Amino acid sequence: MVATVEARAARAAVATPRPLRRTGIAWVFVAPFVVVFAVFWAGPLLVGLGMSFTDMRSTDVRNPLGVDLVGLRNYLRLFDDELMRKAAFNTLVFVVTTLPLTLGLGLAAAVALNSGIARLPAAFFRLGYYLPYITSIIGIAVAWRFLLDPEAGPVNQLLAAVGVDGPSWLADETLALPVIIVMTAWRSFGFDMVIFLAALQGIPKELYEAAEVDGAGRWERFRWVTLPMLRPALLFCTVYSSIGFTQFMEEPLVMTKGGPAGATTSASLAIYNQFGSGNFGYAGAAATVLFTVIAALAFLQFRLARPR
């Protein structure tokens, strides 16, 4: 009997992978991600950081070691560049307005669907709201540019039918950025709606019943039950959307090319234009600053809004 137990223990010891072997197996599974991250994320980030301290231009690509170090000159130049300051301001306005608008629309749609306010199946509305998010940004931007065309666009034609002269939506400095904000919020709130709806369906009904027994009305139940239980979902949507909105570029690139007079030029679009002009060192400095701002913003949001 003792010999049998010892034999089984020996076989189990042989069959159990050693720590080193388990570590090797784990690295085999994570290796694809590590390679992709190093080649397409960490690598370009480090290269851009290195370029930001040089005067590298497109003509130096064949001889990258022949560039001159300029220290912090590119970073100091950012503060004197009026176009970069305007692009940073446009990005700030875009994020500050689009983020709460998207979160509010997504939460409202999720609450409405979760409460059964819609007579049609909820899956129909989930698909309809989510479809713009999974549609190509370029395709949506082209469609909106056509709809808002001052001459042949359906929007201005409808306004003309009721005797209203439609404006040049994308050629007006005061209207171009708000139009892009509205389009982005319309396209993006479906993603937040899906996240909020999943979180709402995970809230125990007993909490609402207990609050109702205590005399809480609809608003009190939403304020003291729903919102606290949605904090993880709110944090995720806030951080995820903030990162995406801070980097917005395709919308103004397709719809206005950053105009009129830089009114819709974003930080990412300004960096893209600098790379296209061959100012690699200057563009690298701007990209590094943008990355730092995004990382700091995400860290701050996690610190302030994380569930306690």
Spell out the domain ranges in the chain: 77-305
- CA-CA distance, 214 to 159, in Å (whole number)? 52
Banded model confidence at residue 282, pLDDT cuts 50, 70, 90: very high
CA dist 62 and 39 (Å) reads 20
pLDDT of 54 above 50: yes
State the helix-helix crossing angle for 137-147 and 176-201, rounded to 10 degrees. Answer: 130
* Candidate from 12-26, 256-270, 292-306 with smallest mean pLDDT: 12-26
Q: How does DSSP classify residue 214? A: T
Residues 6+ apart with CB under 8 A from 221: 208, 211, 212
Q: What is the pLDDT of residues 86-96, one digit of tens each?
A: 999 999 999 99
pLDDT at 5 over 50: no
Give residue-wise pLDDT tens across range 139-149: 999 999 999 99
Q: How far apart are CA 190 and CA 176, in angstroms?
A: 23
Q: Alpha helix locations (H) across 214-279?
A: 218-221, 227-229, 231-246, 250-255, 267-276
Per-residue pLDDT reduced to its tens digit, 22-52 = 787 888 888 899 899 888 888 888 888 999 9
Higher pLDDT, 64 or 272: 272
Q: Could you tell me the pTM of the whole model?
A: 0.85
Tokens of 107: 């939460």
What average pLDDT does the structure give for the chain?
87
State how far the Cα of 25 lies from the Cα of 37, in Å rounded to an integer.
Answer: 19
Q: How confident is the model at residue 16 (pLDDT cuts 50, 70, 90)?
A: very low
Closest CA to 241 of 101, 132, 141: 101
The CATH architecture of the domain made up of 77-305 is Orthogonal Bundle (1.10)
